[in-house]
Amino acid sequence: MKKHSLILSDSFTFVNANHLRIETMADIERLEKIASQVRRDIVRMVHAQNSGHPGGSLGCTDYLVALYFECMKHNPEEFSMEGHNEDMFFLSNGHISPLWYSVLARSGYFPTKEMETFRKINSRLQGHPTTHEGLPGIRVASGSLGQGLSVAAGVALAKKIDDDPQFVFSLHGDGEMQEGQIWEAALFAAANKIDNLISTIDYNGKQIDGPVDEVLSLGDLNAKWKSFGWDVLETNGNNMAKIVDTLKEAKSRTGNGKPIMILMKTEMGAGVDFMMGSHKWHGVAPNDEQLADALAQLEETIGDY
Amino acid sequence: MKAFEVQNHKDTRSGFGAGLEELGKTNDKVVALCADLTGSLKMNAFADNHPKRFIQTGIAEANMIGMAAGLATAGKIPFAGTFANFATGRVYDQIRQSVAYSNKNVKICASHAGLTLGEDGATHQILEDIGLMKMLPGMVVINPCDYNQTKAATIAIANYVGPVYLRFGRPKVPNFTPENQHFEIGQAVHLDEGSDLTIIATGHLVWKAIEAAQKLEKNGISVDLINIHTIKPLDKEAILQSVSKTGAVVTAEEHMMNGGLGDSVAQLLAHYLPCPIEMVAVDDSFGESGKPEELMTKYGLDTPDIIEAAERAIARK
């Protein structure tokens, strides 16, 4: 388990020290076991087609598992596009699709076996997520960056018009903050008090051409979102107990006139030691040997697809 | 030739505003978004009477299109309005991914299209919007000809599920189609019977085509006249039926020749019924400042241009 096990033991220390609102330790263990299986799914999918984005997918695994298996009210058995009286999630950084596909399949939106078709011809599991092929769980296409916050704000606004009490969640890359549309949506959501929107930035500090700070620095991201009128939380996205706690804290802060932004520090490639520590694994698939090495670090907890 | 009575002169954008206000009263799923051009788009009545369903996005068109996609996802019928340039070229990728590819029930409502925007000049006079929008799979493209038809089209697209591009304009033009007409998306309006030549016009050029047909008739040329308010899906049957009778075609539009109505008609006829086609459209050029009528004359979109094109088409028969 190498470095990943260190992250897990960190989380246990954190839970004990801070008396977080976690019902039982077993819940966190359950989520971590799911996350381990999801990480296996990610590397296996990307390896099988020799194509895809493992780095960010692995980095955001704990967040998305926490969201779908603990923090969101949703209905995998009867997926509804409109999502009335459900929490709804939008993935704006669509390239981490293998993570979303695994979490959706493991939640019951579609058969896990379908993960075999990822990025292959005639598949519903397109390289970037789409509604076009009718895959349950997906409500808008994403991949071209910067658009998901506007879509999520539109859905959140519709929920307000309809007096629907549920929440809208969205996830974004930190490199994606370089897109101007993000800041248009940021202005709108704050000015219009879209306070049922909980957005998260995968703050791994890396993008295709290198460190975000070198490509185009985001400066003080926390101060930027605060100055735009958002309620900003920070968390460690690779610590299951912490991310669960942060999502619950975010939900408790809704309805106060401000949209909520979670700056989530993650490690690109989290859980697979040789994929961590650089931006190299943003969009590169492991070879056979690397796959074996990765799988040896990730316990098969639910059963491979 | 049939007589066409001009009821009054009105802008097509006011037809949109009137249709939207009627939808506000009759369909509570309809919401409207506008990027700081509420007055120009004639959306005031909807904004004033249905404030909870009117969304002022500020000068942020990309966000407006994305939010419209979100509102549609949640079951609303969003009408997103701004100038045609900012409703298409500026937000092409947002429309492509979040609306068209995602098959969202978003109505993109584009005013001040073409040269007749006038004095503001080429930065605002988009002549490529029909082409941009018709290339998107699944996008319906509508360009009604007068106030009454724009109002009817606005109401009709609320009942159609899927992305629609509705194009209209700024100036007051003859309002001659029936009040409270039934608008059928994709169904051409056959304005008059004729045997020598088919004229297929859209938007502001429909009235000019009527004027041209009247003059051509005096010169002994009988015109079969089609108002093609829906450019996509194109009413292939109506066009082929007419052209099989006349054997020559003129298309007329306030748009670039590349990518416009003429392109669509030529593509259809090249497949099924090759014949002489002349296109009245802007030929690979940006516009400029000026009065709408001056611009229509300078850029070859006026009644005499249609007459000349008709004579060329007939000479090539």
Tell me the domain boundaries of chain A.
Answer: 2-296
Q: Do the Cβ atoms of A158 and B75 come within 8 Å? A: yes
> What would the mean pLDDT of B81-108 be, rounded to a whole number?
98
d(CA B92, CA B170): 22
CA distance A181 to B178: 42
Q: How many CB atoms lie within 10 A of CB B22?
A: 17
pLDDT at A68 over 80: yes
Query: Which residues in chain B are closer than 8 Å to A141, comparing Cβ atoms?
Result: 97-98, 101-102
Looking at the partner chain, which of B62, B67, B76 has a beta carbon nearest the beta carbon of A153? B67
Are residues B63 and A184, on separate chains, in Cβ contact within 8 Å? yes
Determine the Cα–Cα distance for residues A64 and A107; give it in Å rounded to an integer. Answer: 11
Chain B residue at shortest CA distance from A190: B57
**Residues of chain A contacting B63 with CB distance shorter than 8 Å:** 150, 153, 181, 184-185, 187-188
What is the reported pLDDT for A25? 61
Question: Do the interacting molecules here have an ipTM over 0.90?
Answer: yes
Give the β-pairing of B197-201 and B172-175: unpaired
Residue B78 has a pLDDT of: 99
Separation in Å, CA of A102 to nearest CA in chain B: 21
Q: Could you tell me how far CA B236 lies from the centroid of its own chain?
A: 17
Domain extent listing, chain B: 9-173, 189-315
Which residues of B are designated catalytic?
A: 61
Q: Are A155 and B73 a contacting pair at CB < 8 A?
A: yes
Q: pLDDT tens digits, residue range B147-187?
A: 999 999 999 999 999 999 999 999 999 999 999 999 999 99
Closest Cβ–Cβ partner in B55, B63, B76 for A181: B63
Neighbours of A136 (CB within 10 A): 18
Outline where DSSP puts E strands in chain B: 8-11, 30-34, 54-56, 77-83, 107-111, 140-142, 164-167, 172-175, 189-192, 197-201, 223-227, 230-232, 249-256, 277-282
Give the amino acid at B159: N
CA dist B153 and B15 (Å) reads 9
Give A217-240 pLDDT, tens digit per residue. Answer: 999 999 999 999 999 999 999 999
Residues of chain B neighbouring A132 (CB-CB closer than 8 A) = 101-103
Q: Stretch A262-275: mean pLDDT, rounded?
A: 97
Q: Which residues of A touch B (CB under 8 A)?
A: 81-84, 130-132, 139-144, 146-159, 161-162, 180-181, 184-185, 187-188, 191-192
* pLDDT tens digits along B247-305: 999 999 999 999 999 999 999 999 999 999 999 999 999 999 999 999 999 999 999 99
Q: Which of A144, A149, A157 sits opposite B71 (nearest CB)?
A: A157
Closest Cβ–Cβ partner in A132, A139, A188 for B63: A188
- Choose among A84, A139, A150: nearest Cβ to B63: A150
* Class in CATH terms, B9-173: alpha beta
Provide the pLDDT confidence category of residue A4 given band limits of 50, 70 and 90: very low
Question: CA angle, corner A98, sides to A97 and A99, nearest 5?
Answer: 90
Mean pLDDT, residues A101-125 taken together: 98
pTM of the model: 0.94
Task: Give the contacts of A144 (CB within 8 A, at least 6 positions apart).
Answer: A94, B93, B96, B97
Q: Provide the CATH topology of domain B189-315.
A: Rossmann fold (3.40.50)
Confidence of residue A277 (pLDDT cuts 50, 70, 90): confident
Residue in B with minimal Cα distance to A90? B70
In sequence order, the 6+-apart residues with CB closer than 8 A to the CB of A98 are: A41, A42, A45, A46, A52, A53, A54, A57, A118
Say if residue A7's pLDDT is above 60: no
pLDDT tens, residue by residue, B46-80: 999 999 999 999 999 999 999 999 999 999 999 99
| A15 or B288, greater pLDDT | B288
- Chain A residues touching B28 at Cβ < 8 A: none
For an interface test with B, which of A132, A184, A199 has the most B Cβ atoms less than 10 Å from its Cβ?
A184
Among all residues of chain A, which has the CA nearest to that of B77? A158
- Whether residue B73 and residue A143 make contact (CB cut-off 8 A), yes or no, is no
CB atoms within 10 A of CB A103: 26
Interchain pair A157, B55: CB under 8 A? yes
CA atoms within 13 A on the CB side of B113: 33
Contacts 24+ apart (CB under 8 A), B21-28: B21/B45, B21/B46, B21/B49, B22/B151, B22/B155, B23/B79, B23/B154, B23/B155, B23/B158, B24/B49, B24/B50, B24/B53, B25/B49, B27/B77, B27/B158, B28/B53
Say whether pLDDT at A79 is over 70: yes
- Dihedral-angle region of residue A163 (phi above 0 means left; psi in -120 to 50 means alpha; beta otherwise): left
Residues of B in contact with A131 (CB under 8 A): 101-103
Q: How close is the nearest chain B Cα to the Cα of A179, in Å? A: 11
- Are residues B102 and A132 in contact, defined by beta-carbon separation less than 8 angstroms? yes
Q: Which fold would CATH assign to domain A2-296?
A: Rossmann fold (3.40.50)
Hunting for tokens 């009040």 — which residue is that?
B179
